[in-house]
Amino acid sequence: MTLDDDNLLENITLAYNSARFLQSGSKLSNCPVDEGIEIAFAGRSNAGKSSAINSITNNKKLARTSKTPGRTQLINFFSLSQQAARLVDLPGYGYAKVSLDVKENWGKHLDDYLQNRRSLVGLVLIMDIRKPLTEFDKMLLDWSNTYRLKTLILLTKSDKLKFGPAKSELLKIKKTLADHSALHDVILFSSMKKVGVQEARQALDEIFQPHLISSSEDAPTKTDKTDSIKKPQET
């Protein structure tokens, strides 16, 4: 990469309002061609994942929101206008009132996507600030730490707490995760009050940027994974 390329990367910002629905897949084999670069959004059901995606892209109708947590059962892909970059909405996990068979099916395909998707370059973990670091959150954080996948945490619904307690929770989580090898940032976020939206976009830019030029030559690769992600026990 030349000096000019380095300067170009430092100035690149992606137009998240260009996001458009591309395709849904029930499993890895019917997802879009594994080329380009993508950042996936994951989170426990009812943590505000779809609302966060809609706020970042400034499109209230992009990711489906529902009063029934966990309704989304597909991996949803959204294209951006630049360099084959995509955002990915992974199925929520946890509170959905569905059968155990369906939950097992979700877990298997989530596992397959995270293990084998070569174009995956980052993870956005959505956590309700009032209920952070659930078993599901810790599972994904352990996985991204092991494979050094850049991880951004959005502490959603931060408007539900006063600024002092919210800031205290943020600092506590940062301290807890101080040894995480690939933690990019932890951000206070509120879709309702538009808190943290610009900071989240900047963080996404920073995760995408190192891959923007290289992706046009070869799809990024990750360390081979032999151990599947263990799904948390349902209670």
Sequence-ordered strand ranges (E) for 31-174 = 37-43, 75-79, 85-89, 120-128, 150-156
18 vs 222, which has greater pLDDT?
18
Closest Cα partner for 192 from 141, 231, 157, 148? Answer: 157
Is pLDDT above 60 for 97? no
Reported pTM: 0.85
Residue 218: predicted pLDDT: 53
The model's pLDDT over 30-40, given as tens digits with 9 standing for 90+, comes to 999 999 999 99
Q: What is the mean pLDDT of residues 56-61?
A: 95
At 8, list the tokens. 């170009």
Q: Which of residues 29 and 71 earns the better pLDDT score?
A: 29
Whether residue 221 contacts residue 118, with contact meaning beta carbons closer than 8 Å, is answered with: yes
* Least-confidence region, from 58-67, 133-142, 163-172: 58-67
3-216 CATH pick, 3.30.200.20, 3.40.50.12780, 3.65.10.10, 3.40.50.300: 3.40.50.300
Residue 229 has pLDDT above 90, yes or no: no
Angle between helices 197-212 and 3-11 (to 10 degrees): 160
pLDDT at 91: 85
Residue 169: pLDDT band by 50, 70, 90 thresholds? very high
pLDDT value for 45: 82
114, 83, 30: which is closest to 219 by C-alpha?
Answer: 83
* Strand order across the 183-188 sheet: 20-25, 75-79, 85-89, 37-43, 120-128, 150-156, 183-188
Residue ranges covered by each domain of the chain: 3-216
pLDDT tens digits for range 2-24: 545 555 555 678 999 999 999 99
Is residue 58 predicted with pLDDT exceeding 90?
A: yes
Q: Report phi then psi at 124, rounded to 5.
A: -110, 115
Q: Report the mean per-residue pLDDT for the chain.
A: 84
